[in-house]
A and B are shown apart, each in its own frame.
Chain A
Amino acid sequence: MPFNLDILALSPPGWGGVLLGGLLASLELAVGGYLLGLVIGVGGAFGKLYGGPILRDLLEIYTTLIRAVPELVLILLLYYAGTDAVNQLLLLIGLPAVDISGLAAGIFVIGVVQGAYSTEVLRGAIQAVPPGQIEAARAYGMSPFLALRRVTLPAMLPYAIPGLSNLWMIATKDTALLAVVGFSELALVTRQAAGSTKSYMTFYLAAGALYLLVTLFSNVVISFIERHARRGMPRTV
């Protein structure tokens, strides 16, 4: 009974299609959350480095809190609080409550968690850029934005990539936690499939293989990007 592979077939009565749908949802979450995290991270890193004292302290509190509390707890809190807050805000300015999709809430949650980590990664990377390069850009009359886009961001990229790729791995795995709030991503559909068919081993192993494939594929892509970003840098390792 435990290893009957027919139930993994792609079309019903096989559950393969459902699993792939779950994988797609997981990837959407991971990509969306990761990108949102990057946006927060860029803002956070610059705020921490160049912001005023209050902004710096607030960002410190944000990154400390997020990194000290389990992701599972954060996801539960943010999942409920996030949608509540949006609706309260809309109510305050006199608009009707909106219905926020599970995907949007999930991306928000993953993004906020990722944001704290990418703030730290990017801050470290920016600090690793020789300050003379940024000062030179400013001396040529570039506006802060232009200097950011043309000099700081490209120059810090090689330093940021190891940390950022690690964050991507964490993002893909953190999506599984949304199973706890009932979001139909890979872990939850696996659990539903396993519960319905009682073939627990088969489905959990299959889902594990899917996650592993994502990881291994990401590793290949990351090493390619790493090589690309490091061209022109002295070989250190």
Chain B
Amino acid sequence: MNQETATLSAYVPPKARSLLEPHRLFLMAVFLVIVFCAVWFLRWDWMPKYGSRLAYGVWQTLVMLFWTSVVGFLLALPIGLVQVTGPRPLAWLAKGFCTIIRGTPLLLQIWLLYYGLGSLFAQYPEVRSSFLWPYLRQAWPYGFTALMLSFAAYEGEVMRGAFAGVPRGELEAARAFGMSRWTMFRRIWLPRAIHRALPTLTGETVLQLKATPLVATITVIDVYAVISKVRQDTFLTYEPLLLLALIYLCLTGILVGGFRLLERRIPTRGA
């Protein structure tokens, strides 16, 4: 697949049109009625009891999102770079990695790491007695690894396109100025490539946010896991899930808004 198809626009903010057109007012009234009905007719008495746990869950989700994205992005740089520069074996390796991660469901990868690899570790006493064991016996390192690798693979594909897309003339000009290869990479190639990849970052991060609840299936406590707990305790189906959808909606909105602010601060002329 070519590069522009590699990412889906996860969320394109609607164009700001006037909110006060007559049909909008009518629609808003309808929605207010729906919201009122939801609040009035459904059961929300469990909310106060789980409030603090929900806040903790949201925090965990955000922490997971932040660190997997940051580490994943750092990993994506070399993955994208070697596919452009070579050497061949490394390029093949990186391409294979991207194909495998992007070609299989993340849920399966998470289970493979946690149940597969985890049970393999447990068979070796050397692993069990090593200093890493206290971490390896917890669930979050597996969830973290899976999410991070997934982000690295998808963003690696973007970075490959970004590195390849920097105009050759700019690199040649840098060489002509007598820059060493490393300086050229550090001063010209890398910043230009990151700049080119930035617009896709919003979409990728939203996709990553939407992937985080999968780690709840391996006992990591995030906001999804807290809602699952509510569902099991109260036997309610819709109310907790509706709240969960609302929470993710807000998180996505905040994320998109934040990125938009960030993008405005970075001058984009000539990019």
Contact = CB atoms under 8 A, between A and B. Distances in A.
B193 interface: no
Given A165-B1, A200-B119, A212 B111 contact: no
Interface in B1-29: 1-2, 4-6, 8-12, 14, 21, 23-24, 26-27
B224 interface: yes
Nearest to B252: A68
A57 B23 contact: yes
Main SS at interface, chain A:
helix
Interface string A147-179: 000000000000000110111011001111101
Interface residues of B, number: 53
Interface residues of A, number: 55
Contacts of B11: 64, 67-68
B244 interface: yes
Contacts of A67: 9-11, 206
A92 interface: no
Q: Is the interface of B mostly helix, strand, loop or mixed?
A: helix
Contact of B120 (A120, A175, A201): A201
Contacts, number: 139
A15 interface: no
Interface in A43-79: 53-54, 57-58, 60, 64-65, 67-74, 76-77
Given A68-B253, A201-B112, 17 more contacts: A2-B120, A68-B248, A69-B248, A72-B224, A77-B242, A81-B238, A120-B9, A120-B12, A162-B2, A169-B103, A173-B104, A187-B107, A201-B119, A201-B120, A208-B112, A215-B99, A216-B99
